[in-house]
Structure 1
């Protein structure tokens, strides 16, 4: 009888743990400044900016190419400038070219 009670309590406890919603921590960009990513690969630039920052890539050659492989592209210009405070609504635009191309 005691074993059956233990098993029942264990099952109910585990069910409660697995079905309880987990509150996600809001992404906060307060106190975060825009890093200098000029000269870095797009891959490194994406990792340098705070998580959740909206990034837009613009082809610096004017050909409107899409960045498919971030490690093959480099950042030529950034907007906003390095050190600019970031908020959750700040849009970051990076002008990029392929590694073998000049900025």
Structure 2
């Protein structure tokens, strides 16, 4: 039986830079620009772009695109502000698109 060398991670599909831990997944039931997406409590090795208001499926939010720190591939976005009370739990959280990340140490 193979032993894991470290924690289960998600990495940028383009350059394999580590961007989040599996333990930081809050939900796998989100929709991104290109299909399914995961909501994470934390992300690492990313660059947060400028904030902008966007009308998403769940209402108006202030978001900032997030990119891989190494290759600059856009991986998803960070929720900066939710205008509807029922969506406030997303503030400060990160969306990573499933098509833009790969599993490591699984």
Q: TM-score range by the shorter chain?
A: under 0.3
TM-score by length of 2: 0.24
Structure ranking higher in strand proportion: 2
Structure ranking higher in helix proportion: 1
Q: Which protein is bigger by CA-based radius of gyration?
A: 1
TM-score by length of 1: 0.25
